[in-house]
Amino acid sequence: MSLFTNLFSALPWSLLDTIMNVVAGLGAILLTYGIFLETERRQDAVFIVASACLLVYSIWIGNKIFSVAMAGLMIGSLIELVEILIGRHKHSA
């Protein structure tokens, strides 16, 4: 047990910083993964989760532009997902 205590006490980040970096990494991975999804419903759901993760991270680091971009992506994906679920989503040809 003392090996783990010594190992983790030497890490350069606090626990909260580590959690925020994991959340940001998860958001980046999900955002990339969502691009390759074929099903639009799944893609929008993944984009909502990914942008929420990155929004939390951008608020944490205090980047206003990144926060606005992620909030916009999250709201846009949420609107499109709701439109798909209620049957009002149309594609323009």
Helix H or strand E segment including 13: none
| Residue in 19, 85, 93 with CA at minimum distance from that of residue 48 | 85
64 is a domain residue = yes
Q: Which residue has the higher pLDDT, 5 or 19?
A: 19
The stretch 33-57 carries a mean pLDDT of: 94
3 is a domain residue = no
55 is a domain residue = yes
pTM (2 d.p.) = 0.81
CA distances from 22 to 6, 13, 19, 27, 77 (A): 21, 12, 5, 9, 22
pLDDT at 23: 95
Q: Could you tell me the residue range of the domain that residue 77 belongs to?
A: 13-86
1 is a domain residue = no
28 is a domain residue = yes
Residue with tokens 């909260």, as numbered in its chain: 16
7 is a domain residue = no
Please state the domain count of the chain.
1
38 is a domain residue = yes
6 is a domain residue = no
pLDDT at 18: 85
